[in-house]
C-alpha cells in the first residue's frame, strides 16, 4: 500500500425527511445568504424544491435562485452564477439535484473568489485552494460529487469536458434522502448505477500491490450494486434498495475505496469525450467504454481481472487458464449492464465510424503525446482502437 493523505470532512445527513435540515445546516456551516442552484425542474416535481425552500425560510436565510443546469453542465451558467454571487453578496451555495447541479455549484464556488477565469483550473492540474462553501441535497445516486473534491464542466466554446479538484470543493454537508431518487427514470437510475460501478473499477484496476483492505471495500460496493439493482428494476419504489445504492454512490467516489493505491481513470477520460460531443448520460457512456477498456488492457494483469471475475461475479477460477476466468468476468459485467438496460455500442449515441478520428483529435486537444490512464497508459493509437471496438 502507498502512503496517503485522506481528508473527507463532509457532514452527511442521510434518510427520510433530512431535507428539512437544510436551512439549519447552512447556518451551522456559516452561510448567511444562499445561491439556490438546480437543474431543469425535476426538483419541483418531486418535492425537493418546496422542502428546501421551506427549510431556508424557517431558518430565515435569504436566497437567490439560479436554475437551468443542463446534464453535463456547461460553462455559460457558471459565469452567470459567479456574477450573481458577486452582485448579491452570496456566501454559500446550495446545490439541489444531481452531479451536474453539484458540479455547476462547485465551479461557481471556486470562480467567485478567483480573479481570473474559473476555467484556468480545468484540465491544468492547478489545485483549487479557495472557494465559497457549498452544501448539497442529492436527488440521484451516480456521480459521487456529494462527497468528492472533483468538478467536471464542459466548456461551451470548444466542448472540452474537463475536471478540476481541491479538497475545498468537498461539500460542507450533503443531505441524502433516498426517497427523492424514486422519481428518476429507470434509464437515469441505471446510468447512475453504472457510473458508481465504474468509479470503483477505476480504483480496483491498479498496479499497486498488497491493497487487500481497499480491494475488499471495492468488492463490497460492486456486490451491493449487483444485488440491489434488480430489486429496483422490479420495484423502483424499493426504499431499502434506493438507500443502499445511494450510499454506495458516495462511498465509491469520496476515495475511501481508493486511498493508498494507484488509480486508473482511463475509461472516464475516454468517456468524457463521448458525453461532451454527443451529450449522452455519463454513466451510459461508461457502460460502453469500460468493458471495452477491460478487454483491451486485460493482458496487463490477468490475475487481477481473474480476481474481479471470481470475487465480484462468482466465476470459478480456472487455474490452468486464468485468462478464461478473466474473460468470463468481463462477459458477466457486460451482462449485468445489459440487464439494467444500458447500451453496448457507441452507435446508440449516434457515433459513426467516420467520426472516430474527430473524437480522437478532440481527446488529444492539440497534444499528440497525450496519455490517460495509469493501470495502462493510453495514447492516440490506443484511444482510437478502443473507440473503434465500441462501435
Least Cβ distance, residue 275 to ligand NZQ (angstroms): 6
Distance between CA atoms of 127 and 146, rounded to whole angstroms? 19
The site for ligand NZQ (CB under 6 A) is made up of 39-42, 46, 71-73, 97-101, 103, 139-140, 142-145, 148, 150-152, 180-181, 183-184, 188, 192, 195, 253, 268, 282-283
Give me the least distance between CB of 102 and ligand NZQ, in Å please.
Answer: 7
Nearer to ligand NZQ, 139 or 251 (CB): 139
Rg, Å, the chain Cα set: 20
Cα–Cα–Cα angle for 124, 74, 145, nearest 5°?
70
Strands 134-138 and 173-176: parallel
DSSP collapsed to 3 states, 284-300: HHHHHHHHHHHHHHHHH
Least distance between ligand NZQ and beta carbon 171 (Å): 11
In whole angstroms, how close is the CB of 267 to Zn ion at the nearest point?
9
Minimum distance from CB of 378 to ligand NZQ (Å)?
Answer: 17
166's contact among Zn ion, ligand NZQ, none, with CB below 5 to 8 A by partner kind, is none
94 contact choice in Zn ion, ligand NZQ, none (CB below 5 to 8 Å, kind-dependent):
none
DSSP strands (E only) in the chain: 11-14, 34-38, 63-66, 92-97, 134-138, 150-155, 160-165, 173-176
Q: Which of Zn ion, ligand NZQ, none sits in contact with 99, Cβ below 5 to 8 A by type?
A: ligand NZQ
Strand, helix or coil at 354? helix
Q: Which is nearer to ligand NZQ, 195 or 328 (CB)?
A: 195
Contact present, 173 and 93 (Cβ < 8 Å) = no
Q: Which is nearer to ligand NZQ, 236 or 322 (CB)?
A: 236
State the cell numbers at 87. Answer: 452582485
Pick between residue 282 and residue 334 the one whose CB is nearest to ligand NZQ.
282
Q: Which partner from the list ligand NZQ, Zn ion, none does 294 bind, CB cut-off 5 to 8 Å by kind? A: none
Residue 33 or residue 70: which is nearer to ligand NZQ going by CB?
Answer: 70
Q: Length of the chain in residues, anyone?
A: 391
Nearer residue to Zn ion within complex by CB, 195 or 273:
195
State the SS3 of 217-273.
HHHHHHHHHHHHHHHHHHCCCCHHHHHHHHHHHHHCCCCCCCCCCCCCCHHHHHHHH
Nearest to ligand NZQ of 61, 269 (CB atom): 269
Binding interface with Zn ion (CB under 5 A) = 195
What is the C-alpha separation between 157 and 163, in angstroms, rounded? 16
**Shortest gap between Cβ of 390 and ligand NZQ (angstroms)?**
18
Residues forming beta bridges with residue 164, ordered by sequence position: 151
Q: For residues 39-58, b (16+ Cβ closer than 10 Å) or e, as one string?
A: beebbeebebbebbbebbee
Q: Least distance (Å) from Zn ion to the CB of residue 289?
A: 11
Q: Name the binder of 382 from ligand NZQ, Zn ion, none, CB < 5-8 A by kind.
A: none
Amino acid at each position: 500500500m502507498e502512503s496517503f493523505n485522506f481528508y473527507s470532512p463532509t457532514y452527511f445527513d442521510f434518510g427520510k425527511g433530512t431535507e428539512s435540515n437544510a436551512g439549519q445546516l447552512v447556518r451551522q456551516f456559516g452561510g448567511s445568504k444562499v445561491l439556490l442552484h438546480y437543474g431543469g425542474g425535476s426538483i419541483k416535481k418531486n418535492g425537493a424544491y418546496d422542502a428546501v425552500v421551506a427549510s431556508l425560510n424557517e431558518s430565515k436565510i435569504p436566497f437567490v435562485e439560479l436554475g437551468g443546469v443542463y446534464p453535463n453542465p456547461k460553462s455559460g451558467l457558471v459565469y452567470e452564477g459567479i456574477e450573481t454571487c458577486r452582485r448579491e453578496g452570496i456566501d454559500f451555495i446550495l446545490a439541489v439535484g444531481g452531479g451536474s447541479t453539484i458540479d455547476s455549484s462547485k465551479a461557481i464556488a471556486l470562480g467567485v473568489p478567483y480573479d481570473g477565469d474559473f476555467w484556468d483550473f480545468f484540465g491544468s492540474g492547478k489545485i483549487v485552494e479557495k472557494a465559497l462553501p457549498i452544501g448539497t441535497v442529492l436527488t440521484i445516486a451516480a456521480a459521487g460529487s456529494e462527497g468528492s473534491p472533483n468538478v467536471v464542466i464542459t466548456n461551451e466554446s470548444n466542448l472540452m469536458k474537463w475536471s478540476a479538484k481541491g479538497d475545498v470543493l468537498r461539500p460542507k454537508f450533503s443531505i441524502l434522502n433516498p426517497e427523492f431518487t424514486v422519481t428518476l427514470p429507470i434509464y437515469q437510475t441505471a446510468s447512475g448505477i453504472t457510473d458508481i460501478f465504474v468509479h470503483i473499477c477505476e480504483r480496483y484496476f491498479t498496479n499497486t500491490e498488497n491493497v487487500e483492505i481497499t480491494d475488499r471495500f471495492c468488492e463490497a460496493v460492486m456486490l451491493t450494486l449487483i444485488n440491489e439493482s434488480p430489486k429496483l428494476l422490479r420495484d423502483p419504489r424499493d426504499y431499502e434498495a434506493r438507500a443502499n445504492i445511494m450510499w454506495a454512490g458516495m462511498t465509491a467516489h469520496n476515495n475511501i475505496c481508493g486511498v493508498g493505491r494507484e488509480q486508473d481513470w482511463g475509461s472516464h477520460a475516454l468517456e468524457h469525450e463521448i458525453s461532451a460531443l454527443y451529450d449522452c448520460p455519463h454513466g451510459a457512456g461508461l457502460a460502453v467504454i469500460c468493458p471495452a477498456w477491460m478487454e483491451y488492457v486485460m493482458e496487463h494483469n490477468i490475475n487481477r481481472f481473474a480476481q474481479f471475475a471470481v470475487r465480484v461475479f462468482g466465476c470459478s477460477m480456472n487455474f490452468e487458464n486464468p485468462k478464461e476466468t478473466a474473460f468470463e468476468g468481463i462477459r458477466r459485467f457486460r451482462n449485468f449492464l445489459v440487464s439494467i438496460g444500458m447500451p453496448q455500442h457507441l452507435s446508440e449515441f449516434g457515433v459513426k465510424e467516420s467520426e472516430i478520428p474527430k473524437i480522437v483529435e478532440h481527446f488529444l486537444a492539440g497534444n499528440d503525446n497525450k496519455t490517460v490512464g495509469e493501470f495502462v497508459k493510453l495514447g492516440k493509437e490506443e484511444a482510437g482502437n478502443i473507440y473503434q471496438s465500441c462501435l
